Structure 1
Amino acid sequence: MSTKDGSSRKRKQDSAQTQKADDRDSDVNSLSPMIASFKSFQLELDIRHDKYERLVKLSRDITIESKRTIFLLHRVISPSVPSAEEVLAESDVKLDGVRQKIKQIAEELLGEDLYQFHKAFTPGIQEFVEAVSFQHYIKHRTLISLEDINARLVFLQEGKSEATGPSADPQGMQELAFQVTPTDYLLGVADLTGELMRMCISSVGNGDIDTPYQLSQFLREIHDGFSYIGNTGPYEVSKKLHTLRQSLGKVEDACYTLRVRGSEIPKHMLADVFASRAVPIDPDEGVA
């Protein structure tokens, strides 16, 4: 019994000494400047990761609402819609809601480097550019500029009363601006060409034979602009040039068919004819 009691006491003493040693090491580690630095790095990374995830969610919401706006705008050329002005007014309301989401992105990026988080929200911004430019074309038959888009993304928010400068407001309001990057603008405009191609097909099906010729000229001008960029621009831009050529080719094919065989094909069948015709395009065409 005495031997067992002695062994038990020895194990307890060893365990107590080990625990004390661990406590001392823990105290030393917690006071170590290196450990403190790594903990601060961990906290900073966690904050950035959470911010990135919030931006991804906002981008997803912007993408969904922008797509809904584009679907709505396609109703403008539908003969069943009594008033195009009502559709455009509804699209203004939807785009204003999207702008509020972009305002939240601007708030998240306040004091941050935009390009550190750019990948998180660029899909939504591209979709917003596509929706805004599509609405602008329907209204004015022109391409909206990057400056005009950025001018719509200037917001007012509550600021500190001691703020000074041109962005300060006497009532404590400050300007908060979000700037769409040139790359996001170009990618959004490239996606716009697909919507214009669908608009062309729908217009022909509704008996409108003037819109395809307008769209053909407009798409040709956009294509020429992208051709100047070529491979000197971002990779994503040159990659979407193939889709742009496809859209332009289908619209030009529609115009050709209208000019040559328009009188032979009934108007209600023209849309089906154009939709079924595919334009084979070499994806490497024009790439230097």
Structure 2
Amino acid sequence: MGKKRTFEDTMDDPSKPQSASPIVAMFEGFRSELDEHHDRRERVIKASRDITAASKKLIFSLQRVRKLNHPIPLFVVKANAQYWQTIESQYRAISSDLQRLNAYRYRSNITGGNQEFMEALSFQHYLETQSLISYEEAGHRIASMGGEGGSVLLTPEDYILGIFDMVGELMRFAITSMATSGKLPGGESRRQKHPREETSGGQDADKMELDRQVSGQDEQKPPRRDVLADLRELRLHLEGFDPPLGEKFADDVDKKIVVMRQCVEKVETALYGLVMRGQERPKGWIPDLTEQRRAPEQVEGY
């Protein structure tokens, strides 16, 4: 009678086929899911960093613009083409990784790139139109960069935090423009047509035109909007924003709102100094060169 084989002998014998344990297969599935998760997370983090870097370069180039409510100059458009291409390619590369629940699972990994791009996008939109880009328009712009992989989600939190950061760029733009041109940048508001002007014509239109010329009331231009007026209005709305307490978003808003107020105050201080210097030395002022200088002994005695 042969010797009875034990469980240890069966495990040590490589020629003996071993049955696959369901527990081992389950943990192998967990390992595969974790590896996939870490690979996806690293791709999103890398893309977010590349989007952040390209957006910063985009902002630096936009700071060369000096006029509001005008198309971006051609030399700036050409310089920024490569940065736009980089941002779009990065969003397209990770669009498939940010679908359905993964859009919220990896939200903290892409939020840095979204906020920086939101800052650049809103800054360029303001330079072109002197208005604030809406959340719907910004979300559609980012979603369109996803390509075949699907749209990339722009959360309301990333939109608001990006607008907070954009205030700092408006501060730099305003102060630089005042230093180079001697005035606060701003676009002229367009005159709105009279309601009767759009519906009437012929002799009635000529009569209304004559009446306006006689009265002179409609010849006055509407008030001029400048960067400081827009910054103050933006500050008013952002200060009225009340984020839900107990979240990281509320802490970020509390930090950024302090910086936002400082940026608006810097523009106000710079404009105050510009106006005061303009009053002390009016335009066209030149020093009196005919006045004799003091003798060296008079200066030393003084």
Same fold by TM-score, threshold 0.5 exceeded? yes
2:38 matched residue in structure 1: 49
1:258 matched residue in structure 2: 274
**Does residue 108 in structure 1 map to residue 97 in structure 2?**
yes
Contact 2:182 2:274 survives alignment (8 Å): no
What is the CA distance between 1:231 and its match in structure 2?
4.7
Contact 1:136 1:142 survives alignment (8 Å): yes
What is the CA distance between 1:157 and its match in structure 2?
4.6
Q: Deviations over 1:40-93 (max 9, x none)?
A: 111101101110001111011101111111111111229xxxx93331454355
What is the CA distance between 1:111 and its match in structure 2?
4.4
Q: 2:34 & 2:135 partners in 1: Cα distance? A: 33
Q: Deviations over 1:222-278 (max 9, x none)?
A: 2112112235362212221111011011011122222333344799xxxxxxxxxxx
**Does residue 217 in structure 1 map to residue 229 in structure 2?**
yes
Q: 1:200 & 1:243 partners in 2: Cα distance? A: 16
Letter in 2 for 1:193: V
Q: Where in structure 2 are the equivalents of 1:216-255 lying within 5 Å?
A: 216-232=228-244, 234-235=249-250, 236-255=252-271
- The alignment partner of 1:242 has SS state of helix
Q: 1:260 & 1:177 partners in 2: Cα distance? A: 51
Q: Percent identity?
A: 36
Q: 2:158 & 2:12 partners in 1: Cα distance? A: 54
Q: Deviations over 1:128-162 (max 9, x none)?
A: 0111111111111111111111222325755xxxx
Unaligned 5+ segments in structure 2 are 1-5, 187-224, 284-302
Among 126, 129, 145, which residue is 2:134 paired with? 145
Rg: which structure is higher? 2
Letter in 1 for 2:264: L
Q: Where in structure 2 are the equivalents of 1:142-181 lying within 5 Å?
A: 142-153=131-142, 154-155=144-145, 157=147, 176-181=150-155
Among 60, 63, 85, which residue is 1:74 paired with? 63
Q: 2:121 & 2:230 partners in 1: Cα distance? A: 16
- The alignment partner of 2:150 has SS state of strand
- The alignment partner of 1:209 has SS state of coil
1:197 matched residue in structure 2: 171
Contact 1:88 1:135 survives alignment (8 Å): no
RMSD of aligned C-alpha atoms?
Answer: 3.0
2:48 matched residue in structure 1: 59
TM-score (norm 2): 0.67
Q: 1:255 & 1:141 partners in 2: Cα distance? A: 19
Contact 1:59 1:122 survives alignment (8 Å): yes
Unaligned 5+ segments in structure 1 are 1-15, 159-174, 268-288
Pairs aligned (count): 230
Contact 1:126 1:187 survives alignment (8 Å): yes
What is the CA distance between 1:208 and its match in structure 2?
3.9
Letter in 2 for 1:205: A
Q: 2:181 & 2:281 partners in 1: Cα distance? A: 12
2:195 matched residue in structure 1: none
Q: 2:59 & 2:47 partners in 1: Cα distance? A: 18
Q: 1:49 & 1:143 partners in 2: Cα distance? A: 37
Contact 1:230 1:238 survives alignment (8 Å): no
TM-score (norm 1): 0.70
